[in-house]
Amino acid sequence: MIERLDRLVLLVGAVAMALLAFLIFAQVVLRYLFAVTPVWSEELGRYLLIWAVLAGSAVSVRGARHIRVEFLADLLPASIRRVWYLFLDLVILALFVLLVATGVEALGFNYSMRSLGLQVRMSYVMAGIPLFFGVATIFLIDELRRRRGKRP
């Protein structure tokens, strides 16, 4: 199930990036060849970029592919290093849970607001925050479960 979720989130991020690339190409062509720029195109590009980054962030948690500063941990003995990594993962897990909770709260707060160009509810755009950080939480819990008993 985790592998399916990983592929689904990766697909969402890849589709968002592909649509963003096509949209930017279309904007350039329309702007410089036809002197026309749709009002909604830049806004849609921003939203696609946000969703692509959030999806990529969630996928990077799986397999510990996210950015991690290692120089301090390399100075620690192996036994303390393992505890250090566990501590960091638990702090990150708490941050993810906090982002999911505040993201859900923000959805309700922003439901009545609409974007200027597309006139979509801002809560639809912001739904990526609790959605992808929720997925990142699932991935981190799975990583913690899989690494239990293994050395970092």
Express each pLDDT in 44-72 by its tens digit: 999 999 999 999 999 999 877 777 777 77
Q: Is residue 123 part of a domain?
A: yes
What's the confidence (pLDDT) of residue 6? 93
51 within some domain: yes
> What domain count does the chain have?
1
Q: Which residues pair with 121 in a beta bridge?
A: 114
**Tell me, what's the pLDDT at 151?**
53
pLDDT over 90 (residue 1):
no
- Average pLDDT for the chain: 89
Average the pLDDT over 114-118 and give the result.
Answer: 87
User: What is the mean pLDDT of the segment spanning 79-92?
Assistant: 88
E strand or H helix at 42 = helix 41-61
Q: Does residue 152 sit within a domain?
A: no
Domain with 101, as residue range(s), is 2-147
44 in any annotated domain: yes
Residue 16 lies in a domain: yes
**Residue 17: predicted pLDDT:** 97
